[in-house]
C-alpha cells in the first residue's frame, strides 16, 4: 500500500464506513416497513463519509430509528450516553440493530456517545448516580461541573457537547435542536464545526435548517418516493419549507387554519408540493 493510499483510508473522522442490513432482515413488520429502513435494505447499504452526516426526512420516515439502531449496533446504550452506560428505564428501541452490519475503518474512535432529546432526562439522572457512586471517579467535571438537572434542557445539551465530546470521537445525535433555541442551534453549529476539525465523525438526524448550514457536511434526504439521496443545503426540505414560510406566512396560515378556501386568489392549493 502506498503512503498516499494509506492516508486516504485512515483520514481523520472516518471511523464507520458503511451500514447495511443482513439479507435475512426482509420482514413485513415494524421497523422494516419504515421508508428509511426499506431504502437501506434495497440500496444494499449506506456509505458514510468522514466528518458530519445529516439525515433529513419527514416525521415517521425512520431517520431517528436508523440513528438509534446504529448507536445500539455500535455498542452504545439505546437510551443514550456513552458505550459505558448500561442503564434502562423503559425499553422502547426497535429490533433493527440486531440486523445491522457495521463496517469500520482501520482507525477506531477514541470515544462514542449517543445524544437523543427524548431520553436525555434519563441520561442526566444516570450521570448524577454515577457521580455519587463512591466506587467511581467523579463524573460531573466531564460534563461541565454542574448536574444536567440543574441547568435548562438546552444549556445541559450544550454543556455535554462542549465538555464531554472531544477529538477523535464517534457521535450520534437524534434531533438535538428539540432542546435548543435558535441561538442555541447556532452555538451547536459552531461546536459541530470544531468537532469535525478535531477528527470526529457524527451522524445526526435533524429538521433544523440552522444545523444543516454546517460547511462541509453531507446531507442525506429521504424523499417522498422512499429514496435516500444526497442534496445540497438549498435543496434540503427543511430549508426550502422554512424559507417559503418566512417569505409569505399568510399563504401557509390560510391553508392551515382557514376552513373556507374558495377565493383561490393565490392558486396555492398545491403549496406544499411546490415548496
Which of 86, 77, 82 lies closest to 142, judged by CA? 82
Q: What angle do helix axes 35-43 and 63-73 make, rounded to 10 degrees?
A: 60
| Whole-angstrom distance, CA of residue 231 vs CA of residue 85 | 35
What is the reported pLDDT for 32? 87
What is the reported pLDDT for 8? 42
What is the reported pLDDT for 209? 98
What is the reported pLDDT for 92? 61
What is the reported pLDDT for 273? 52
Reduce the DSSP state of residue 167 to 3 states and report it: coil
* CA distances in angstroms from 158 to 148, 164, 165, 177, 250, listed in the order given: 10, 10, 10, 11, 34
Are 119 and 87 in contact, with CB atoms under 8 Å apart? no
Q: How many helices (H) and strands (E) does the chain have?
A: 9, 10
What is the reported pLDDT for 267? 47
- CB-based contacts of 60, cutoff 8 Å, min separation 6: 34
Strands (E), 40-99: 46-47, 52-56, 81-82
Q: Where are the domains of the chain?
A: 8-233, 236-275
What is the reported pLDDT for 270? 53
| Whole-angstrom distance, CA of residue 18 vs CA of residue 254 | 44
What is the reported pLDDT for 41? 86
The list of the chain residues with pLDDT below 50 reads 1-9, 264, 267-269, 271
| Whole-angstrom distance, CA of residue 16 vs CA of residue 218 | 14
8-233: CATH, from 2.60.40, 1.10.287, 3.40.390, 3.40.50: 3.40.50
String of DSSP letters for 95-131: SGGGGEEEEE-SSPPSEEEEEEGGGHHHHHHHHHHHH
Indicate the pTM of the whole model.
Answer: 0.85
Say how many C-beta atoms besides its own lie within 10 A of residue 183's C-beta.
Answer: 10
Q: What is the number of residues in the chain?
A: 275
Amino acid at each position: 500500500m502506498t503512503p498516499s493510499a494509506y492516508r486516504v483510508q485512515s483520514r481523520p473522522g472516518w471511523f464507520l464506513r458503511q451500514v447495511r442490513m443482513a439479507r435475512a432482515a426482509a420482514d413485513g413488520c415494524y421497523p422494516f416497513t419504515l421508508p428509511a429502513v426499506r431504502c437501506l435494505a434495497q440500496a444494499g447499504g449506506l456509505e458514510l463519509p468522514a466528518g458530519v452526516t445529516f439525515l433529513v426526512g419527514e416525521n415517521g420516515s425512520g431517520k431517528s430509528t436508523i440513528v438509534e439502531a446504529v448507536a445500539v449496533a455500535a455498542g452504545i446504550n439505546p437510551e443514550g450516553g456513552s458505550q459505558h452506560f448500561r442503564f434502562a428505564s423503559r425499553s422502547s428501541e426497535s429490533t433493527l440493530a440486531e440486523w445491522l452490519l457495521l463496517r469500520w475503518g482501520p482507525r477506531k474512535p477514541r470515544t462514542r456517545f449517543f445524544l437523543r432529546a427524548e431520553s436525555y432526562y434519563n441520561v442526566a439522572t444516570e450521570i448524577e448516580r454515577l457521580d455519587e457512586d463512591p466506587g467511581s471517579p467523579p463524573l460531573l467535571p466531564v460534563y461541565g461541573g454542574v448536574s444536567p438537572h440543574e441547568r435548562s434542557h438546552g444549556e445541559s445539551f450544550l454543556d455535554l457537547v462542549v465538555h464531554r465530546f472531544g477529538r477523535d470521537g464517534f457521535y450520534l445525535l437524534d434531533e438535538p435542536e428539540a432542546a435548543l433555541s435558535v441561538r442555541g442551534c447556532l452555538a451547536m453549529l459552531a461546536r459541530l464545526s470544531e468537532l469535525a476539525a478535531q477528527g470526529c465523525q457524527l451522524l445526526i438526524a435533524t429538521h433544523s435548517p440552522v444545523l444543516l448550514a454546517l460547511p462541509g457536511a453531507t446531507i442525506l434526504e429521504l424523499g417522498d418516493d422512499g429514496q435516500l439521496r444526497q442534496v445540497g443545503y438549498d435543496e434540503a426540505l427543511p430549508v426550502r419549507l422554512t424559507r417559503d414560510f418566512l417569505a409569505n406566512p399568510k399563504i401557509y396560515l390560510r391553508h392551515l387554519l382557514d376552513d373556507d378556501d374558495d377565493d383561490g386568489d393565490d392558486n396555492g392549493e398545491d403549496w406544499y408540493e411546490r415548496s
